[in-house]
Amino acid sequence: MSSDNRELPNAERNLNLDNSSEKFSEDGQDKYMQLQLRIYLLTLIITGPSVLIFAIFFDLHSALSLLIGALSGILYLRLLARGIEKLGKTSMSVSKVQLLVPVLLFFAVSRLPQLELLPALVGFLLYKLSLIIQFSLEP
């Protein structure tokens, strides 16, 4: 038999299509995981100097608030990514669980006198800066 798909019986042609879609799916998953890791790493790289700058120019409470906000932003992004991974496989919509993260951050900042709201919110939004940088660098 020739390698031409038109000469293959239907069962063999469907088998080839199934294999190619599985390979495409696995390749897409790998790329998605690599993208996630790059965004997490970039967020951590941005967070380090930001916390240092806040510690130098403001105070340690502001730097701690920024750090907690940044870690909350990473947690939010991770929960969102998990929801997206499940989309189409086990779920028809993205879960809203990740929306609890900023709410809990706000309550934690309002209850703990050592934390400040504005630096915590800035820290939470640092993941957005990493997304902007990541997608502006892609070809």
The pTM score is 0.75
Percentage of residues in the chain having pLDDT higher than 90? 55
| pLDDT mean over 119-123 | 95
Residue spans per domain, the chain: 9-137
**Residue 5 or residue 80, greater confidence:** 80
Mean pLDDT of the chain: 82
Tell me: the pLDDT tens digits for 53-100? 999 999 999 999 999 999 999 999 999 888 888 776 776 777 788 889
The confidence score (pLDDT) of residue 23 equals 56
**Residue 25 or residue 40, greater confidence:** 40
Residue 42: pLDDT above 70? yes
The confidence score (pLDDT) of residue 86 equals 78
Concatenated DSSP letters of 54-123:
HHHHS-HHHHHHHHHHHHHHHHHHHHHHHHHHHBTTTBSS--SGGGHHHHHHHHHHHH-TT--HHHHHHH
Confidence label for 47 from pLDDT (cuts 50, 70 and 90): very high
Long-range contacts of 111-114, Cβ-Cβ distance < 8 Å, separation of 24 or more: 114/61, 114/64
